[in-house]
Structure 1
Amino acid sequence: MPDTEMLELLKQRLQRKQYKLTMQRRTVLEILLEHPGEHLSAEDVYGALRDKSSDIGLATVYRTLELLVQLGILQRMEFGDGCNRYEIADIEKNEHQHHHLICIKCGKVTEFFDDLLDELEADVAAKSGFKITDHQVKFYGYCKECQDELENK
């Protein structure tokens, strides 16, 4: 989906929740759309804004990212290093987020989309009476490059 279509969908989602697509929100979303699959931190977004000569401050970036998470437009993730990262949340309702493979040596994050947990989720919901709306899976280990490097030592 082209960025202009995605921005329009995100604008509509904001409006449904009684928020406007301000210039700051639009600019932050554009940065995230320009870096698909990169899991940007607030500092990464701020750096990209500075590269574009934007005068949006770091505090505004943090506030904007947190608001967009609260509104379900962004997903916040933490990959075990204490740093929050953000990406555009999946647009389709009732669609699970993708999952992540995290290399504990180089920090590379790879996304995967197979969702094999539907039966487990249904079982947990039935046994606990808990209404599950989503889940996240993170696998930690070594990427292929780091495996090769470790084997060649």
Structure 2
Amino acid sequence: MTREKNDGPQGRPEFQIFKDYIRKKGLRYTPEREIILREIVNTGDHFDVDELYLRLRNKGERLSKASIYRTIPLLIDCGLIQEVYYEDGHMHYEFIYGHEHHCHLRCLECRRIDEFVEPSLKKIEDRLARKFGYRVVGHKLEVYGYCPECRKKLNLR
């Protein structure tokens, strides 16, 4: 999945979505929150709070981890990011606004992540909705194992 790089919020709908959401919640749209969102949008990769914090610090930004931890739930709630997986005591997230829904294959050895779209999952959603009477609004699928390189290195079939 290709993610477009951008250095600022000018004309970007995700920044306006976040501003509107923050204001509806009665909160302030702070420069810190904008810096956090900008870094997430520009990186376009899976991240955890520690990685995001270090990237921002390395760029000279003076933000606390607490600011990031307080901003993450707001970004999830307004639909800009989602939780992807939990590993090594940290939740990992990804920017999802404007991106096609996808699932993940994750290597347990090297931590490589391959994103994929599987159209047959829609049929499974439909079948489950009928069977259990649900209105399905989405799914999150993570498949984990060993990538081809790690399988070779570990001599796994």
Alpha-carbon RMSD: 2.3
Q: Which position in structure 2 is the counterpart of 1:28? A: 36
Count of matched residue positions in the alignment of Structure 1 and Structure 2: 148
Partner of 2:124: 120
1:74 matches 2:77? no
Q: Which residue of 1 aligns with 2:53?
A: 46
Instruction: Give CA-to-partner distance per residue, 1:30-64, whole Å, 9 cap, x none.
Output: 2112222x311011110011001111100001111
In the aligned structure 2, how far is the partner of 1:59 from the partner of 1:52? 18
Query: What does the per-residue CA deviation read over 1:57-88, in whole Å, with 9 as the maximum and x for residues that have no partner?
Result: 00001111121112211111214544211111
Any conservation in 1 of the 2:106–2:145 contact (CA below 8 Å)?
A: yes
**Counterpart check, 1:149 vs 2:153:** yes
The residue type paired with residue 124 of structure 1 is L
The separation in 1 between residues aligned to 2:11 and 2:91, in whole angstroms, is: 23
Which secondary structure does the structure 1 equivalent of 2:120 belong to?
Answer: coil
Match of 1:12 in 2: 16
Deviations 1:14-42 (A, max 9, x none): 24435365312221122112222x31101
Q: 1:61 maps to what in 2?
A: 68
TM-score (norm 2): 0.81
Render the CA deviation track for 1:69-126: whole Å, top value 9, x for unaligned: 122111112145442111112327xx6x211111112222121123321111011111
Asked if the contact 1:105/1:142 (under 8 Å) is kept, the reply is yes
**Structure 2: runs of 5+ lacking an equivalent:** none
Q: Which runs of 5+ in 1 are unaligned?
A: none
Larger displacement relative to structure 2 (3-12 or 46-55) = 3-12
The whole-number CA distance in structure 2 between the counterparts of 1:137 and 1:52 is 34
Residues 1:134 and 1:17: Cα distance change in structure 2 (over 3 Å): same
Matched ranges for 1:77-92 at <5 A:
77-91=84-98
Q: Distance in 1 between matches of 2:10 and 2:104?
A: 23
Relative to structure 1, the CA distance from residue 31 to residue 117 in structure 2 (aligned partners, 3 Å threshold; closer, same or farther) is same
Identity of aligned residues (%): 28
